[in-house]
Amino acid sequence: MISEKARRLLLDVAAESIRHGLDHGRPLTVCAADYPEELRVPRATFVTLHRHGELRGCIGMLEAVRPLVEDVAHNSYAAAFEDPRFAPLAAWELEGLDLHISVLSPPECMTCASEADLLQQLRPGIDGLILRDSHCRGTFLPSVWESLSDPCDFLRHLKRKAGLPADWWSDTLTVERYTTESFGSPIREQE
């Protein structure tokens, strides 16, 4: 569990990295050594931005490759300025912008003999999934269950996101699951 103090620090770093991106065109550089131990541990994160309730960007990592605080600074900037589905964030969009940080658990391989077997093992509302087959890969965070609550729909949409047909199943398909610890807040006006 991430402490409340660490959550507030991460949300501040995320907001500051976005503001820094607006001013300087690059993410905020943070030194993990300046932060509490729990923020220096390598963790994978996703940062999701919503503006007035609509998705505005979502970028993250599935593998822990840098300290948690650095990953949040990088992914916040990337969600605001590098998500290919959206134009880079403009300063006027800060009003009404909400930040949501998801810290991922390490992925766990699932053994599934069939799609029916996988569907039986899924924990709606809890599991994030990573599907891989050949060069195709896709993930859904556990929060996606809010809009795709039926496991069959969840899996079909994830296959399409990965670039696979909705009815795809093969012996080379690999499935991993993970959970997230998630928290968020609106970006506040700078004082």
Q: Is the same domain home to 65 and 9?
A: yes
Q: Residue 41 is part of a domain; what is its CATH number?
A: 3.30.700.20
Residues 67 and 97 sit within 8 Å (Cβ to Cβ): no
For residues 152 and 120, the answer to whether their CB atoms sit within 8 Å is no
Per-residue pLDDT at 191: 41
Task: Return the pLDDT at 188.
Answer: 73
74 with 116, same domain? no
- Predicted pLDDT at 1: 87
Q: What does the angle CA 27 – CA 35 – CA 15 come to, to the nearest 5 degrees?
A: 35
Residues 126 and 148 in one domain: yes
pLDDT of residue 10: 97
- Print the domain residue range for 161: 108-178
Contact 148, 122 (CB under 8 A): no
| 97 Cβ contact partners less than 8 Å away, ≥ 6 residues apart | 18, 49, 50, 51, 56, 89, 186, 187
Look at residue 56 in the predicted model and tell me its pLDDT: 96
CATH number at residue 166: 3.30.1490.150
65 with 124, same domain? no
pLDDT at 190: 57
Could you tell me if 98 and 116 lie in one domain? no
Q: Is residue 159 part of a domain?
A: yes
Number of domains in the chain: 2
Within a domain: 191:
no
pTM of the entire predicted model: 0.89
Taking alpha carbons only, the member of 57, 67, 9 closest to residue 33 is 67
Q: Do residues 21 and 99 both lie within one domain?
A: yes
Look at residue 160 and tell me if it is in a domain.
yes
CA distance 39 to 55: 27
Q: Are 162 and 80 within one domain?
A: no
Strand pairing report for 97-104 and 136-140:
unpaired
Same domain for 93 and 171? Answer: no
d(CA 12, CA 76): 11
CA atoms 55, 6, 82, 189: torsion sign: positive
Same domain? For 130 and 162 the reply is: yes
Is residue 123 located within the same domain as residue 168?
yes
Q: pLDDT tens digits, the chain, 191 residues: what are they?
A: 899 999 999 999 999 999 999 999 999 999 999 999 999 999 999 999 999 999 999 999 999 999 999 999 999 999 999 999 999 999 999 999 999 999 999 999 999 999 999 999 999 999 999 999 999 999 999 999 999 999 999 999 999 999 999 999 999 999 999 999 999 999 875 54
